Amino acid sequence: MGLQELISTLKKNEQKQIDDIWQAAKSEAEALRKQVEEAVADITKKQAEQLAAACRKSMRSIFSETDIKTRERKLLAYQALDQALQNAAVKLLPDLREENYEKVFAILAAELPERQWEKILVNADDAELGRRFFSANIISTDPGISGGLQAVSANGRIIVDNTFEKRLERKWPHILPALIAEFEKRYEKTGSPEKTG
């Protein structure tokens, strides 16, 4: 083997070693690149999950606040509706006097417990009617009474309020839910309260 051949063999071996080192470095770089890529993907996935969890928490908070505000507005609307309906009902109480009122007054008077009443309060239009059931000197009128009567014992210790107003007040908690249900039913059908009449 000559010197040239030796040099040529060494160059080939050297080139092969360089190629092997270069190939090993490329493989190692590729493996590192994959590790870095996987680490970045894992970090990105974790951050995305954390961000999604934070978004869900924020959305729950927003929905909760919206729900509370909606309920508050609905409650205020129901309170306003309650007051409007109650005012309308009170305005209609005098209309109850139009049909069989003498009989209604007699029933209301008969419901009073037996006792010595000091004062019987009635609507001004009922003073004469009241005198049919009670002594004339204890009958007094009250413009706040649309119908019925209020009996007061000595010293005002016992008061029996059998007026239309008091009867409406007592029954209102039972009447209101039915009225609201009717309004809601009408609202669901049309998207706005239907006008009647």
User: How high is the pLDDT of residue 197?
Assistant: 45
The pLDDT assigned to 63 comes to 78
Query: Residue 61 carries which side chain, given as an amino acid letter?
Result: S
Residue 109: count of CB within 10 angstroms of its CB = 19
Is the pTM of the predicted complex or chain greater than 0.85?
no
Q: Taking the alpha carbons of 49, 51, 57, 60 in that order, is the dihedral positive or negative?
A: negative
Secondary structure (3-state) at 157: coil
Q: What angle do CA 114, 116, 120 make, to 5 degrees?
A: 95
Question: What is the full per-residue pLDDT of the chain (197 aa) written as tens digits?
Answer: 576 776 677 666 676 776 777 777 678 778 777 887 877 777 888 887 887 888 788 788 887 888 888 888 888 888 998 899 899 999 999 999 999 999 999 999 999 998 889 999 999 999 999 999 999 999 999 999 999 999 999 888 899 999 999 999 999 999 999 988 888 888 777 766 655 54
Kindly give, in sequence order, each residue whose CB lies less than 8 Å from that of residue 159, ignoring residues fewer than 6 positions away. 150, 151, 152, 153
Please classify residue 151 by burial: count the beta carbons closer than 10 Å to its beta carbon, then call 0-12 exposed, 13-18 middle and 19+ buried.
buried
Task: Give me Rg for the CA atoms of the chain.
Answer: 46
> What pLDDT is stored for residue 11 in this prediction?
67
What pLDDT does 123 receive?
A: 96
Helix ranges (DSSP H) in the chain: 3-92, 101-110, 127-133, 164-190
- Strand 119-122 to 159-163 pairing: unpaired
> Which residue type, as a one-letter code, is found at position 4?
Q
pLDDT at 183 (0 to 100):
82
